[in-house]
Structure 1
Amino acid sequence: MGSKAKAPGNGKIAILPLGRPTFDLPFAEERLAAMLAALERAGAELTGPRSLLLDLDAARAAIADLSASVPDQVLVLQVTFTDAGMVAEAARAFSGPLSIWAVPEPRLGGRLRLNAFCGLNLAAHALGLAERAFGYLYADPQAAEVDRDLAALLAGKRIARPEPTRPATGGDPRGRQAALSLRGTRIGRIGKHPDGFDTCAYDEAKIAALAGVHVEELELDTLFHRAGAAENTAVETVATHAQTTLGGLDRIDQGQLDRSYRLKVALDGLRVDNRYDAFAIRCWPESFTEYGGAVCGPVAMLGEARVPCACEADVYGALSSLLLQRVAGTPAFLTDLVDLDAADNSGVVWHCGQAPLSMADPGFAPQATIHTNRRMPLLYQFPLRPGRVTFLRISQARGRTVAVIGGGEMLKRPMAFTGTSGVVRFDTPAAKLLDRVMGAALEHHLALAYGDHRDALGAAAETLGIPILDL
């Protein structure tokens, strides 16, 4: 615990520094030290822990301690990715002003060391669903303008404001056809979404009423048992495909690689037996901790074959990918938005290593790799190819169903982070896009496809009877 001279108008500020041990903790601790130094410069009267809270129990203990001190506001320091559980606990415990400050990290082509933006995104969504006002800041603690932005945050001048929607319109008949084609489609949800991932929750009756989609729920063990029993000839077919499309397979653990191949065989079998059009899969941690192989590479293969697979059992993510794929006539990729840089006017979209192979930059030979946190194969690695792209999310943010539609240009840039990632110049300037994502309290997954399909998606939204929120 610590304190400094009281900053006029801010009162006592309770800090909650959040992190997760699967990320780069030494780097996270450096970033936290810089954040605390910036708060010291601001003259804030701080109370709370000065070290990372790495799990929900630690956060609960800190919240209980802070409640006794009766702070005037709470500042969450989002140093690495975390799910929204800790922030939700803080929001329930404190009725006063609550803000979140997340830190960017350099795009150096290595692992995503912090992924703090994604943590901010999940927290904002949870707070939006709870109708809880919150402030936000996404800024380097050592940036020239951070003192100004931090002062504004602490003074309550950076509050997330709900974004307006507009009536859906669109003249491209592909949109109406694609929306109608969803009726009778089937999504296999394998496992439940992780705790703290309200972004991936769904209501079976609502999704059926919206799009005529049936969701069938399976246990993760069903997938794992089927993978363990996969026939060797089918596994060899998957291995041959990987060997002809990816470099570096000989550099990774062959036993774990075989288990990853077997997940692809198991998913193919489930798809055929149950007539699934898409999957929503709880991909971690159990695929690593209980089964011993990554599902990311198999997901990339299925995506290329026009069977979208959403991470973290995100059913609406699977629906969004399926609709976008049918509008575009090409594979879709469910991404995380992991960075926005106002100075460069760009963002980074990324997922561990599961983009369809046809999205690879032709100047880069796709590689096999391992999960950066869990250290198991199979994942794809390449930067996304340059070109026009469209984004879609059938969203439930702030308790309303809307079609989030946006566009941008994938830039010819070096790989920002390991796995599959791309640098995008969105049609909306990056600084404004941050305000929209936070204000709308959007989910962290967006479906991406190449080409400009915004008009057709407008027609699809009109057919589904939902408004549009322009990204």
Structure 2
Amino acid sequence: MDIKVAFIPLARTTFFMPSAEENFTKSCDMLEGLFGNVNKPTELITSPEMLGEFADTLSQQDLIIYQCSTFIGGDFVTELTNRFNCPIIVWAVREPSIDGGRLKLNSLTGAFSAGNSLRMQGRQHEFVFGNPDEIEVIEKLRTIGAAVEMVKKLNNLVIGVVGSQPAGFGFGVIDEAQLASTFGIKVAQVEAANLMSNATSYNDEEIATALEELKSRTKGWDLMPKENLEKYARLRTAYQGFIKESGAGAIASRCWPDFFTGFGAPVCAVLSMLNDNGIPSSCETDMGGAISMFIGSNLSGSATYFGDPVAVDEKCDSIVYWHCGAGASSLANKNEGSKLGVHPNRKIGPTMEFGLKNGPVTVLRLGKDKDGFRMFLMKGEALDEPQKFWGTSVTVKPEGGQATESVAAFVEDGWEPHFVIAYGNVVEEVKTMCNMLGINVWEY
């Protein structure tokens, strides 16, 4: 993980030091295997002076792991909060034995002291309980680390916004000041007309790479009119130029009607290729959708899908998510592959035409509420179902079923009509990230 981690193991020598020393050694080995380079002391820290001396060697950290190797007072954690402004994990280890004899470590009470001190200081923290060789402990630490890394990536994100939202799609607008204050996200704006103008300026050599990329990832391109393929390649090249110039790591793009009426080609396939290439890209200029895609793709390690909930398929108790044709080609059902087609309403190509692959998924959405941001989360299963409508679609069964009741809850709770499907289970990572950012989670 690309984060700076400091391990702070604290102990009092009046407790049973052999067990504390054993946990310290095992913890160091486990943490280095999990995070790579970890800033750690050479021995257990047993006094405020030792803590101060070690803290002096540290730059600002992304995460502090505060292990109560034995009981330790809450004053120790205050020394760290006075120096560092980053998430803190309070870690309590287990008692070596519960046998009617001596209380050897009393680590858990130390964790309570630290947690109370952090709470009273208004500092967010996470709690881990267990020994360093326990799978649950390792997984919890991995989850927290992934969330910290995600927060860091959001803080460095530039979202490229192409044009404005279509009429009636104002839910996709997010105030730049809100983005900056909550996430640190910056916005780079460009008009769709500017990209179309740039697209007309390229020669055949300059668009050749974009054209070859499309052909290598899709089927049916040979049935597409040459003029349409060329227009696609011009737009793809123009978008790549904007990304390079702005440093954008995600795109929220205008699509209809501008690119149909102003350029004679959809932008769907362009967004598909960007999603495949690690630039999460939403259509209809949905900024919250693009940020949700960025979160989902970074946590899952693959492209995500951006779609409308358009139907309930009662036969399989599932929700059908659909969009015109911008799905990442890498998400196509393996039996059919990614095919090119034309837009279902405008009859212009190239767009993507396929049903998505099956597998466990997380449905998520960064939404807006009356008092700030909120996060939608739902576990589900993308079923091995055929394409349900022209364009791209995926059929998702909620983890607990009851698709009709779920959709009713989503509408009654006022969610935006765009959702993101990330393959895999990233629920805990998103929840931890939201806790760090002060965002309310609505889990279904």
Match of 1:327 in 2: 299
Match of 1:461 in 2: 434
Show CA shifts across 1:387-439 (max 9, x none): 00111111004554111111110111111112211111112421221122111
The whole-number CA distance in structure 2 between the counterparts of 1:331 and 1:340 is: 24
Is 1:404 matched up with 2:376? yes
Q: Which runs of 5+ in 2 are unaligned?
A: 1-123, 128-139
- 1:448 corresponds, among 410, 421, 427, to 421
The whole-number CA distance in structure 2 between the counterparts of 1:214 and 1:451 is: 28
Match of 1:395 in 2: 367
CA gap of 1:168–1:323, structure 2 versus 1, over 3 A, is farther
Comparing 233-242 and 211-220, the one that deviates more: 233-242
The whole-number CA distance in structure 2 between the counterparts of 1:407 and 1:462 is: 18
Match of 1:434 in 2: 407
CA contact (8 A) 1:168 1:468 kept: no
CA gap of 1:274–1:422, structure 2 versus 1, over 3 A, is same
The whole-number CA distance in structure 2 between the counterparts of 1:459 and 1:351 is: 30
Q: CA deviation at 1:331?
A: 1.4
Q: CA deviation at 1:244?
A: 2.4
Match of 1:316 in 2: 288
Report the TM-score when normalising by structure 1.
0.62
Is 1:218 matched up with 2:157? no
CA gap of 1:296–1:346, structure 2 versus 1, over 3 A, is same
Match of 2:62 in 1: none
Question: For residue 412 of structure 2, what is the amino acid of its counterpart?
Answer: G
- 2:265 corresponds, among 259, 273, 293, to 293
Show CA shifts across 1:441-470 (max 9, x none): 111111211101101111111121111001
The whole-number CA distance in structure 2 between the counterparts of 1:470 and 1:169 is: 19
Show CA shifts across 1:121-154 (max 9, x none): xxxxxxxxxxxxxxxxxxxxxxxxxxxxxxxxxx
The whole-number CA distance in structure 2 between the counterparts of 1:233 and 1:408 is: 45
The whole-number CA distance in structure 2 between the counterparts of 1:343 and 1:361 is: 20
Question: For residue 237 of structure 1, what is the amino acid of its counterpart?
Answer: T
Q: CA deviation at 1:376?
A: 1.1
CA contact (8 A) 2:218 2:329 kept: no
Q: Which runs of 5+ in 1 are unaligned?
A: 1-166
Is 1:267 matched up with 2:224? no
Match of 2:26 in 1: none
- 2:321 corresponds, among 329, 349, 358, to 349
Q: CA deviation at 1:209?
A: 1.0
Percentage of identical aligned residues: 28
Match of 1:186 in 2: 158
The whole-number CA distance in structure 1 between the counterparts of 2:377 and 2:406 is: 12
CA contact (8 A) 2:214 2:273 kept: no
Show CA shifts across 1:267-311 (max 9, x none): 111111111111111111010011111110010000011101111
The whole-number CA distance in structure 2 between the counterparts of 1:245 and 1:168 is: 44
Match of 1:378 in 2: 350
Q: Secondary structure at the match of 1:182?
A: helix
Question: For residue 161 of structure 2, what is the amino acid of its counterpart?
Answer: R
CA gap of 1:342–1:387, structure 2 versus 1, over 3 A, is same
- 1:284 corresponds, among 256, 263, 281, to 256
Is 1:250 matched up with 2:222? yes
List, as ranges, runs of 4+ consecutive aligned residues in structure 1 with deviation greater than 3 Å. Answer: 167-171, 341-344, 397-400
The whole-number CA distance in structure 1 between the counterparts of 2:126 and 2:293 is: 20
The whole-number CA distance in structure 2 between the counterparts of 1:368 and 1:315 is: 26
Match of 2:341 in 1: 369
Show CA shifts across 1:137-180 (max 9, x none): xxxxxxxxxxxxxxxxxxxxxxxxxxxxxx99894121221122
Show CA shifts across 1:91-139 (max 9, x none): xxxxxxxxxxxxxxxxxxxxxxxxxxxxxxxxxxxxxxxxxxxxxxxxx
Match of 2:148 in 1: 176
- 2:391 corresponds, among 391, 396, 419, to 419
Q: Secondary structure at the match of 1:396?
A: strand
Is 1:201 matched up with 2:162? no
CA gap of 1:367–1:390, structure 2 versus 1, over 3 A, is same
Q: CA deviation at 1:252?
A: 2.5
Match of 2:275 in 1: 303
Report the TM-score when normalising by structure 2.
0.66
The whole-number CA distance in structure 2 between the counterparts of 1:396 and 1:169 is: 25
Match of 1:94 in 2: none
CA contact (8 A) 1:397 1:443 kept: no
CA contact (8 A) 2:154 2:184 kept: yes
Taking only aligned residues, the RMSD between alpha carbons, in angstroms, comes to 1.9
Question: For residue 421 of structure 2, what is the amino acid of its counterpart?
Answer: L
CA gap of 1:440–1:236, structure 2 versus 1, over 3 A, is same
Q: Secondary structure at the match of 2:408?
A: helix
CA contact (8 A) 1:168 1:459 kept: no
Higher RCO by CA contacts (8 Å cutoff, separation 6 or greater): 1
Q: Secondary structure at the match of 1:406?
A: strand
Match of 1:27 in 2: none
CA contact (8 A) 2:341 2:350 kept: yes
Question: For residue 207 of structure 1, what is the amino acid of its counterpart?
Answer: L
The whole-number CA distance in structure 2 between the counterparts of 1:168 and 1:228 is: 53
CA contact (8 A) 1:168 1:466 kept: no
Match of 2:88 in 1: none
Structure showing greater radius of gyration is 2
